[in-house]
Amino acid sequence: MIIAVDGPAASGKGTLAAGLARHYGLPHLDTGLLYRAVGLAVAGLDGTGQFEAAAIAAARSVDPSVLDAEALSTGEAGQLASKVAVIGEVRAALFDFQRAFATQPGGAVLDGRDIGTNIAPDAEVKLFIKADSKARMERRARQFELKGLPVDRYALYHQIEQRDARDMANPNGGFYPAADAHLLDTTLLDIEAALRAAVAIVDGVMAEKSRSAKLV
Ligand code: C5P
């Protein structure tokens, strides 16, 4: 079973995808880490004419087996990721690894922006996670605070809005819910409640599929 979990920055999709992977015993890939690794690799060239070519080269040589989630979790990495993510050749270079992960025997859970639309349009279950910008800002702020990092909520809110705008305008992205995606709004849900709701959706879809298969 492939489960695609898409949604905007700080919507909780990563936590939910990890929870779903644990619940169903499936491997999990946070595809944002790939874009973050490419972004950080070319951080020094941001704003220069070499940025795009360097990002494409970095995407072609990124090693998914050594992604350090902690080092890639910074706001800077997120901003840089959304800048390299608009480059079509970067997306193309990262496609094969994501597709191979999705189609491995037994299935997988992937989270990102375009899993249900581009990477795994054939996923059995597609979730699109939503939460309003203020709730997303507050969650990200608490994550940083738990790590003992200083937080400027005003700046964080603007970073999230900026990243949303860049992602929504991405001509190569497909950052919209797939037509067959199930929307889950987590604005008012804590992690446990959101995971329960996500599991209920996945179980419901799979039960429906097995009912329809028996009727054929
Ligand atoms: O999910 P996360 O916040 O780590 O993603 C960082 C950035 O990487 C996103 O803002 C988006 O620009 C890009 N991204 C993407 N496609 C994905 C995952 C992430 O373009 N599948």
With beta carbons less than 8 A apart as the criterion, state whether 85 and 173 touch.
yes
Q: How far is the CA of 164 from the centre of ligand 1 (A)?
A: 10
| Residue 184 resides in a domain | yes
Mean pLDDT of 182-201: 96
Mean pLDDT of 37-55: 96
Question: What is the CATH number for 181?
Answer: 3.40.50.300
Q: Is the CB of 114 under 6 A from ligand 1?
A: yes
pLDDT at residue 211 above 90?
no
Q: Is the CB of 77 under 6 A from ligand 1?
A: no
| Residue 214 resides in a domain | no
Give, for ligand 1, the residue of 70, 72, 82 to mutate: max count of ligand atoms closer than 8 Å to Cβ: 82
Q: Is the CB of 129 under 6 A from ligand 1?
A: no
Instruction: Write out pLDDT tens, residues 132-187.
Output: 999 999 999 998 899 898 999 999 999 999 888 888 888 887 688 999 999 999 99
CA atoms within 13 A on the CB side of 37: 21
Q: How far is the CA of 9 from the centre of ligand 1 (A)?
A: 8
| Residue 215 resides in a domain | no
Pairing relationship of beta strands 2-6 and 125-130 according to DSSP bridges:
parallel
| Residue 23 resides in a domain | yes
Handedness of CA 40, 44, 47, 53 (dihedral sign): negative
| Residue 216 resides in a domain | no
Q: Distance between CA atoms of 31 and 172, rounded to whole angstroms?
A: 16
Please give the pLDDT value at position 3: 98
Residue whose Cα lies nearest atom 16 of ligand 1: it is: 113
Specify the DSSP class assigned to residue 128. E
Q: Distance between CA atoms of 8 and 195, rounded to whole angstroms?
A: 17
Q: What angle do CA 202, 203, 207 make, to 5 degrees?
A: 120
Which domain covers residue 144, as residue numbers?
A: 2-208
Structure tokens of 80?
A: 């840089």
| Residue 24 resides in a domain | yes
pLDDT at residue 216 above 80?
no
Q: Which residues contact 215 (CB under 8 A, 6 or more apart)?
A: none
Q: How far is the CA of 96 from the centre of ligand 1 (A)?
A: 16
Please give the pLDDT value at position 170: 86
Q: Is the CB of 164 under 6 A from ligand 1?
A: no
pLDDT at residue 22 above 90?
yes
| Residue 172 resides in a domain | yes
Please give the pLDDT value at position 27: 98
Domain count, the chain: 1
Handedness of CA 1, 21, 201, 182 (dihedral sign): negative
With beta carbons less than 8 A apart as the criterion, state whether 119 and 4 touch.
yes
Counting from 1 in the atom list of ligand 1, the atom nearest the Cα of 77 is 6
Percent of the chain at pLDDT > 70 equals 99
| Residue 123 resides in a domain | yes
Please give the pLDDT value at position 172: 84
Residue whose Cα lies nearest atom 14 of ligand 1: it is: 32
pTM of the model as a whole? 0.94
